[in-house]
């Protein structure tokens, strides 16, 4: 049952205080009086809470506003102090790690990246080094840091802060939260990179303020983050959103030359992931050896060739996009989101294939939803990780 009873009135006060803070944060410069109005709290109560929030530096007074039309005393404008605390966000990728410091508005004060180390020990060491640099760059002390969020490329138990399985890093059951908290003097939160990304997009990106969002990320692998009723949905065993395993073509799945996948790669991933694209391309090339492809190439190259007019590459990508279209349509049928975001490396070519995906959706889903590329670029992971901390932290900012 675990009742969060701050046993009584303290809880109520805390809640009201948060409401006041949130109100000021959202409604921009605003007077005590108006806050009282909006929250249906009495003026004295608001004044008292504001007093405390000023004391704690969450709010600041910014001189008088203009008086009302009918005369009267000028209001004292209150503003949220977005520099009351700072949060560090880490985007831990398979090849590089990007770290950044944001203020509470999501403004990036400093960011940097370094190559991913294969050894966990040296990775953490490099991370510590990097974070200290960032602190210096932003002229901040550890005291100014509210917490640190990390997006990891794999299934993650956010409660215990354990990365269950991250193939690209070769991690299994790695207690990242614990390890990181031993290294830094602030709380650390860990989550799946795709989950983190969807948080970032909802905070400051293409899904700003939306409560029902699906983000499909296509890079080396294929992942999917879901915001449902305004909250991240992680599933019963942290495995929700494994869209890489969606089967969009039974016939192929059954008759596959390969045995059923299940070892790290899913059906969809075989076709639309980076590795899958390369493989399909190679398959295609077998039949027409006169092609201009080099012996080794990447998915990116396939895209390039297709844009340059290579028929075979175009054919491969046609199929890829078709799969993505059906995957998106299926997601819409099931989740009915307000928007579907496409992220990952592939999103750079978005305008090229977006119309076709939309067509598929229109033809096969019962309702529609706009499909857009993610709006945040290289800092998406960082900002998302910051948002993770802001949403989950027990601080005054926590939603209620």
Partner DNA sequence: CGCAAAGTTAGGCATCTTTACTAACTAACC
Partner DNA sequence: GGTTAGTTAGTAAAGATGCCTAACTTTGCG
Q: Among positive and negative, which fits the CA dihedral 279, 280, 281, 284?
A: positive
Of 253 and 396, which CB lies nearer to DNA in the complex structure?
396
User: Candidates 86-94, 130-138, 288-296, 320-328 — which segment interacts with a second copy by CB under 8 A?
Assistant: 320-328
Site string for DNA, 59-88 (x = CB under 7 A): -----x-xxxxxxxxxxx------------
Measured from the Cβ of residue 146, the count of other Cβ atoms closer than 10 Å reads 18
Residue whose pair of structure tokens reads 């209150």 in the numeric block: 78
Per CB under 8 A, does 366 bind a second copy?
Answer: yes
Of 73 and 125, which CB lies nearer to DNA in the complex structure?
73
262 binds, among a second copy, DNA, none (CB under 5 to 8 A by kind): a second copy
Per CB under 7 A, does 396 bind DNA?
Answer: no
Rg (CA), the chain: 24
Among 123, 188, 335, 385, binds a second copy (CB under 8 A): 335
3-class DSSP state of 92: strand
260 binds, among a second copy, DNA, none (CB under 5 to 8 A by kind): a second copy
Per CB under 8 A, does 48 bind a second copy?
Answer: no
Among 26, 27, 28, 44, binds DNA (CB under 7 A): 44
318 binds, among a second copy, DNA, none (CB under 5 to 8 A by kind): none
User: Candidates 62-70, 89-97, 328-336, 347-355 — which segment interacts with a second copy by CB under 8 A?
Assistant: 328-336
CB 108 within 8 A of CB 383: yes
31 binds, among DNA, a second copy, none (CB under 5 to 8 A by kind): DNA
Q: Facing residues of 228 across strands?
A: 231
Q: How far is the CB of 210 from a second copy (least distance, A)?
A: 8
Q: Facing residues of 215 across strands?
A: 225, 341
Q: In whole angstroms, give the CA distance from residue 151 to residue 195.
A: 8
15 sits in which H/E element: helix 9-26
Of 91 and 284, which CB lies nearer to a second copy in the complex structure?
284
Among 16, 133, 168, 336, binds DNA (CB under 7 A): 16
Per CB under 8 A, does 95 bind a second copy?
Answer: no
Nearest residue to 116 via CA among 133, 103, 99 = 99
CB 108 within 8 A of CB 379: yes
What pairing do the DSSP bridges indicate for beta strands 76-80 and 30-31?
A: antiparallel
Measured from the Cβ of residue 181, the count of other Cβ atoms closer than 10 Å reads 17
Q: In whole angstroms, give the CA distance from residue 35 to residue 48.
A: 12
207 sits in which H/E element: none
Q: What are phi and psi of 213, to 5 degrees?
A: -135, 140
Residues found near a second copy in the complex (CB under 8 A):
1, 3, 5, 7-9, 11-12, 19, 22-23, 26, 38-41, 211-212, 224, 226, 228-229, 231, 233-254, 260-262, 266-267, 322-323, 326, 329-331, 333-338, 363-367, 369
Contacts with DNA by CB under 7 A lie at 5, 7-10, 12-13, 16, 31-34, 40-45, 47-49, 51, 64, 66-76
């Amino acid at each position: 049952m675990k009742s969060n009873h701050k046993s009584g009135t303290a809880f109520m006060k805390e809640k009201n205080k948060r409401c006041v803070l949130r109100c000021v944060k959202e409604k921009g410069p605003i007077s005590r009086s108006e806050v009282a109005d909006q929250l249906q709290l009495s003026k004295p109560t608001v004044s008292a809470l504001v007093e405390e929030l000023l004391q704690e530096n969450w709010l600041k007074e910014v001189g008088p506003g203009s008086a009302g039309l009918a005369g009267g005393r000028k209001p004292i404008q209150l503003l949220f102090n977005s520099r009351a605390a700072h949060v560090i966000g880490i985007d831990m990728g398979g090849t590089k790690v990007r770290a950044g410091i944001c203020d509470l508005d999501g403004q990036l004060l400093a960011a940097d990246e370094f190559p991913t180390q294969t050894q966990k020990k040296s990775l953490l060491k490099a991370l510590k080094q990097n974070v200290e640099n960032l602190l210096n760059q932003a002229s901040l002390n550890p005291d100014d840091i509210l917490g640190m969020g990390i997006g990891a490329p794999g299934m993650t138990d956010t409660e215990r802060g354990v990365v269950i399985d991250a193939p690209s890093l070769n991690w299994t059951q790695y207690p990242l939260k614990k390890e990181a908290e031993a290294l830094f003097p602030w709380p650390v939160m860990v989550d799946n990179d795709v989950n983190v990304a969807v948080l970032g997009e909802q905070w400051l990106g293409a899904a700003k303020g939306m409560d029902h969002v699906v983000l499909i990320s296509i890079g080396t692998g294929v992942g999917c983050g879901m915001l449902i009723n305004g909250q991240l949905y992680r599933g019963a065993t942290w495995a929700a959103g494994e869209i890489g395993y969606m089967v969009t073509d039974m016939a192929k799945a059954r008759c596959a030359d390969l045995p059923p996948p299940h070892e790290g790669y899913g059906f969809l991933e075989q076709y639309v992931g980076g590795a899958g694209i390369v493989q399909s391309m190679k398959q295609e090339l077998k039949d027409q050896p006169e092609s201009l492809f080099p012996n080794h190439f990447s998915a990116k190259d396939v895209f390039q060739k297709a844009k340059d007019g290579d028929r075979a590459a175009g054919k491969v990508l046609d199929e890829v996009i078709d799969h993505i279209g059906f995957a998106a349509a299926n997601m819409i049928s099931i989740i009915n989101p307000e928007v579907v975001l496409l992220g990952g490396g592939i999103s750079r070519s978005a305008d090229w294939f977006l119309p076709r995906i939309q067509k598929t959706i229109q033809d096969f889903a019962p309702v529609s939803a706009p499909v857009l590329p993610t709006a945040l670029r290289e800092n998406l992971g960082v900002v998302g990780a910051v948002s993770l901390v802001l949403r989950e932290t027990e601080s005054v900012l926590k939603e209620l």
